[in-house]
Amino acid sequence: MKALRIANGRIIDPANKRDEVADLWIADGVFTNQPRGEESEVESIDATGLIVAPGLIDMHVHFRDPGQSQKETIATGSRAAAAGGFSSVVCMPNTNPVADNAGTIALIREKAQCNAEINIFTAGAITKGLAGEELAPYGSMFAAGIVAITDDGHCVQNHEVMRRAVEYARMFGIPVLDHCQDYSLVGNGVMHEGEWSLRLGLPGWPRIGEEIIVARNILLSELCDSPIHCQHISSGGSVRLLREAKSRGMKVSGEVCPHHIALTDECLRRFDSNYKVNPPLRSASDIEEIVEGLADGTLDILCSDHAPHALYEKEVELDQAPFGVAGLETEFGLFCDILVHKKKAVPLDRLIEMLTVNPARLLSLDRGTLSAGAPADVALIDPNLEWRFDKEKSESLSRNTPFHGAELKGRVVRTIVTGKTVWALEV
Ligand SMILES: [Zn+2]
């Protein structure tokens, strides 16, 4: 048996409340205690000066596979994830065909088996065709391996349909993830409704379009006694609603994407579609409230909403361009830079917690810890490494990022999946 020793790093394993300088041992793809045996059979990685963390998990990515391989594929998306330090991702179901049935889920999982070196988990659709009307078959999708349901990109508007979705999902112990957007309030909005939308003459996407669905979800979660997770929170008002609900012990949670704390609506002043995301970039006060929500634990999961688009799709008039940014490779750097270094709002161990054990617990994944016996997914992190993101070197098929040239502090320097290095920073 060949063992791997990750030597002399600072092990931060929030799931086990562990923070110490020690060696981490891996054998046969799982974490082990230090084996007794011949030293010659041990391969060693020197982690002196590095953080040794559980493999990072991004529970919100779009790999566009099947159906839109001009934007991304499972192979390219996985490489981008690995290069961003992620050993696990959860793919959203808005593929073509939509992942609203067991066959498509099985197809995606099979593609992942053949084409990905990281762990690909799948979310199934809440409703057939993401149309918001008829529930998808959760039982057979669950048997095929889904870890959650969501209509991400779309939002179930009919509250009775949503209620039945939550009750049905509860039978399988899977959470409902919701893209919170009220269609009547948002209409054809393309950016945050405020001073800048007025100045630029663009239709506004008001905060209340998100908040009213967050409030709906809190009420439904309470009624059904089952978890609802609010995706990509952009509004300060949503944070307040979630804080109040969590203080009463409600099973609701919220996630945050880097662009929503790094950028404001003012970025759209040059009509650059790389700043067009859904929900939209908002104001400095929203950023403040989101960061406060992360600091006090109201929001406890971080993700990218990695949404690759081909150049020709984004190079059109702003109101015609698709929403989204490709975010996997800048995600950790932005979060570490903003939350840990610049704002000092979140310590490093909590940052790691929000990228590992928190999503793992919500989705019941056997990942996100360094416990003996668990699959040996590891991120080696240099939290003080200063680096510059170059989109031309990206592993993603797409280049739709507003962070080209961004100078960031903190980076994953090696990504290990079940004991195997799948990506390492070249030095
Ligand atoms: Zn979404």
Rounded to whole angstroms, the Cα distance separating 215 from 223 reads 12
Tell me: pLDDT of 155 over 80: yes
The Å distance, Cα 179 to ligand 1 centre, comes to 5
The Å distance, Cα 34 to ligand 1 centre, comes to 43
The arithmetic mean of pLDDT across residues 157-181, rounded, is 98
The Å distance, Cα 35 to ligand 1 centre, comes to 45
- Give the Cβ contact number of residue 427 at 10 Å: 4
Each residue's pLDDT tens digit, 351-399: 999 999 999 999 999 999 999 999 999 999 999 999 999 999 999 999 9
Tell me: pLDDT of 37 over 70: no
Pick from 92-101, 259-268, 311-320: least confident? 311-320
Above pLDDT 90, what percent of the chain?
94
Q: Strand 191-192 to strand 30-32: parallel, antiparallel, or no bridges (unpaired)?
A: unpaired
For residue 203, which phi and psi values (nearest 5 degrees)?
Answer: -65, 135
Q: Give the 3-state DSSP-derived string for 167-209, with helices as H, strands as E and coil as C.
A: HHHHCCCCCEEECCCCHHHHCCCCEECCHHHHHHCCCEECCHH
- What pTM does this model have? 0.97
The Å distance, Cα 144 to ligand 1 centre, comes to 23
The arithmetic mean of pLDDT across residues 5-19, rounded, is 97
Whether 305 is catalytic is yes
The Å distance, Cα 364 to ligand 1 centre, comes to 21
pLDDT band at 427 (very low <50, low <70, confident <90, very high): confident
Each residue's pLDDT tens digit, 59-73: 999 999 999 999 999
Q: Give the 3-state DSSP-derived string for the chain, with helices as H, strands as E and coil as C.
A: CCEEEEEEEEEEEHHHCEEEEEEEEEECCEEECCCCCCHHHEEEEECCCCEEEECEEEEEECCCCCCCCCCCCHHHHHHHHHHCCEEEEEECCCCCCCCCCHHHHHHHHHHHHHHCCCEEEEEECCEHHHCCCCECCHHHHHHCCEEEEECCCCCCCCHHHHHHHHHHHHCCCCCEEECCCCHHHHCCCCEECCHHHHHHCCCEECCHHHHHHHHHHHHHHHHHCCCEEECCCCCHHHHHHHHHHHHCCCCEEEEECHHHHHCCHHHHHHCCHHHCCCCCCCCHHHHHHHHHHHHCCCCCEECCCECCCCHHHHCCCCCCCCCCCCCHHHHHHHHHHHHHHHCCCCCHHHHHHHHCHHHHHHHCCCCCCCCCCCECCEEEEEEEEEEECCHHHCCCCCCCCCCCCCEEEEEEEEEEECCEEEEECCC
pLDDT band at 38 (very low <50, low <70, confident <90, very high): low
Rounded to whole angstroms, the Cα distance separating 108 from 112 reads 6
The Å distance, Cα 115 to ligand 1 centre, comes to 25
**Mean pLDDT rounded to a whole number for the chain:** 96
**pLDDT for position 39:** 60
The Å distance, Cα 114 to ligand 1 centre, comes to 27
Interior/surface letters 170-206, b for 16+ CB within 10 angstroms, e for the rest: beeebbbbbbbbbeebbeebbbbbbebbeebebebbb
Q: Measured between alpha carbons, how far is residue 295 from residues 298, 299, 301 in Å?
A: 8, 8, 12
Q: Rg of the chain's alpha carbons, rounded to an integer? A: 21
Rounded to whole angstroms, the Cα distance separating 384 from 31 reads 26
Q: Strand 301-302 to strand 204-205: parallel, antiparallel, or no bridges (unpaired)?
A: unpaired
Tell me: pLDDT of 1 over 70: no
Tell me: pLDDT of 181 over 80: yes
The Å distance, Cα 242 to ligand 1 centre, comes to 18
* Beta-bridge mates of residue 123: 148
Above pLDDT 70, what percent of the chain?
99
Q: Strand 56-61 to strand 86-91: parallel, antiparallel, or no bridges (unpaired)?
A: parallel
Pick from 159-163, 243-247, 423-427: least confident? 423-427
The Å distance, Cα 132 to ligand 1 centre, comes to 14
Rounded to whole angstroms, the Cα distance separating 280 from 276 reads 7
Each residue's pLDDT tens digit, 240-274: 999 999 999 999 999 999 999 999 999 999 999 99
The Å distance, Cα 142 to ligand 1 centre, comes to 21
pLDDT band at 90 (very low <50, low <70, confident <90, very high): very high
Pick from 202-206, 214-218, 397-401: least confident? 397-401
**pLDDT for position 343:** 98
Spatial contact of 31 and 52, defined as CB atoms under 8 Å apart: no
Pick the catalytic residue: 13, 300, 305, 337?
Answer: 305
The Å distance, Cα 232 to ligand 1 centre, comes to 7
The arithmetic mean of pLDDT across residues 81-108, rounded, is 97
The Å distance, Cα 274 to ligand 1 centre, comes to 16
